[in-house]
Amino acid sequence: MVLFNHLSAARVNWHKSEALAVGRWTNGLPVLPQELAWRSDGLKYLGVFIGDGEFERRNWLDVLERVEGKIQKWKWLLPRMSYRGRTLVLNNLVTSVLWHRLNCAEPPLGLLEQLQARVLSFFWDGMHWVQQGVLHLPREEGGQGLIHLASRTATFRIQFIQREPIVNEARLNVSAEAALRLKAALHQTRTLLLQHVVAAAGPDLTGVEAVGSLLGIRSAQAAEGALQLWRNGLSERERRLLVDYGQGTEPDYEDPFPEIRLATHLGNLDGPLLRPSKTFSLQAVEKKTLYYDCVRVLNSRGLSNRNTSVWAD
C-alpha cells in the first residue's frame, strides 16, 4: 500500500473504505489496516449495492418513488405534449435513471411491470387507444418507440454475453465428469484455457506426467482421464489443427471465426407487426436491432395478427 501511494501520488481514504469478505476463509480473515472492518452482508460499489439477497434489495427500495417523482414533474405540461414528445420525455428523462441498476442487478419480481404501468399511464393520460405492444415498436413499423423495460433488461443480459466469456459453462469444461479435485486444481493453478493444457501436455494432449505436475495431481490415471475428456471434447478437425500448430503451422488470420447467430422464435404467431423471423450475428448485431427483437418476442401475443397502426410512416 505504501508503494502504491508513492507510485500513484494517491492515498487511500480509510474512512470511506469498506472491505467485503467473500467465500470461506479457513484460516480466518486477514487483519485490515487502520480502523477498517470486514463486512459480510455487502457494500456499495459504483452506485450499486453488492452482497447477499437482503442487501442487494436496497438497489430497488426507492425506484418507484424516483420514477413517479420524475413523472410528476412533467404532469403540468402533459396536455400540451404530443405523443412523440411524451415518448421522448419517458425514454430520455424518466426511465433513463434505471439503466445503470438494470445493467448490474436483477430487479425483484413484479417491479418492471409496476414501472411499465406508470410509464403507460403517463403516455396515455386516460384511455389506452392502441394495444400496448404496438407502442414499443419503432415509428416506421407503426409504433412510437416507447421504452419497454423488460425488453431493455433482456437486451442488457444479451449484451453481457457479448462482452464476457463464459468460463464455467465452456464446451471443454470437464470438471463435472472428471475427479472432484480437478476443478479445484484448475482454479488453484490458474489453468483456465486450453492453451495452458496444450503448453504442458503437447498439441496431441498426451503428456500425462506434465499435466499431473502442472495441476498437482499425483495419480497418472486421473491425469490421463482428464486428458482423455479434453480430447473427446475436441472435434477431429480441431485435434488436427492442434497437431499442425504444434508442428509449426501458422494460423491464417483471414480465416473467419465461427459465427454465433441468434434467431427470434415466435412459434405459430404471425402478422404484419411480427415481420419474418431473421437470424443475426451475436458479434455484429446493433443494440437497437437487438432491443426491438426483444420487444417483438416479449410482446408477441399482443402483436400477433394486428394490422399496422396509423403511426406507421
Confidence of residue 184 (pLDDT cuts 50, 70, 90): confident
pLDDT of res. 167: 38
Residue 7 has pLDDT above 80, yes or no: no
Q: Kindly indicate the confidence band of residue 278, based on its pLDDT and cuts at 50, 70 and 90.
A: confident
Task: Answer yes or no: is pLDDT of 89 > 90.
Answer: yes
Between 135 and 280, whose confidence is greater? 135
Does the structure show a pLDDT above 90 at 17? Answer: no
Instruction: Yes or no: say if 90 and 146 are a contact pair by the CB < 8 Å rule.
Output: yes
Partnered with residue 95 across adjacent β-strands are: none
Instruction: Note the pTM of the prediction, 2 decimals.
Output: 0.58
Mean pLDDT, residues 134-157 taken together: 86
Contact 313, 287 (CB under 8 A): no
For 21, 205, 215, 233, the CA distances from 86, given in Å and listed in that order, are: 46, 62, 61, 54
- Per the model's pLDDT, the better-predicted residue between 168 and 155 turns out to be 155
Are 153 and 112 contacting, i.e. CB atoms less than 8 angstroms apart? yes
If you average pLDDT over every residue of the chain, what do you get?
80
11-20, 71-80, 134-143, 163-172: segment of lowest average pLDDT: 163-172
Q: For residue 112, which phi and psi values (nearest 5 degrees)?
A: -65, -35
Per-residue pLDDT at 97 exceeds 60:
yes
In percent, the amount of the chain with pLDDT more than 90 equals 17
pLDDT confidence bin for 115, thresholds 50/70/90: very high
Across the range 208-221, mean pLDDT stands at: 86
What is the maximal distance between C-alpha atoms in the chain? Answer: 79
What pLDDT does 161 receive?
57
Question: Can you read off the three cell numbers belonging to residue 222?
Answer: 486421473
pLDDT at 164: 40
In contact, 298 and 158? CB cutoff 8 Å: no
Per the CB < 8 A criterion, the answer to whether 156 and 290 are in contact is no
CA distances from 116 to 111, 135, 155 (A): 9, 12, 16
Query: 271 with 305: CB under 8 angstroms?
Result: yes
Q: Would you say residue 253 has pLDDT above 70?
A: no
Q: Is the pLDDT of residue 172 over 60?
A: no
pLDDT of residue 276: 60
Q: DSSP characters for the chain? A: -HHHHHHHS----GGG--EE--S--TT-PPPPSTT--EESSEEEETTEEEESHHHHGGGGTTHHHHHHHHHHHHGGGGGG--HHHHHHHIIIIIGGGGHHHHHHSPPPTTHHHHHHHHHHHHHHSS---S-HHHHTS-GGGTS-----HHHHHHHHHHHHHHHS---TT-TT--TTTS-THHHHHHHHTT--SHHHHHHHHTTTT--HHHHHHHHT---HHHHHHHHHHHHHHS-HHHHHHHHHHHTTPPP-TTSPPPPPEEE---TT---TTSPPP-EEETTT--HHHHHHHHHHHHTHHHHTTPPPPTT--
Residue 39 clears pLDDT 80, i.e. is over it: yes
Asked if pLDDT for residue 165 goes beyond 50, the answer is no
Task: Estimate to the nearest angstrom the gap between the alpha carbon of 108 and the chain centroid.
Answer: 17
**What is the structure's pLDDT at 169?**
52
Name the residue with higher pLDDT: 84 or 277.
84
Highest mean pLDDT range out of 2-6, 214-218, 305-309? 214-218
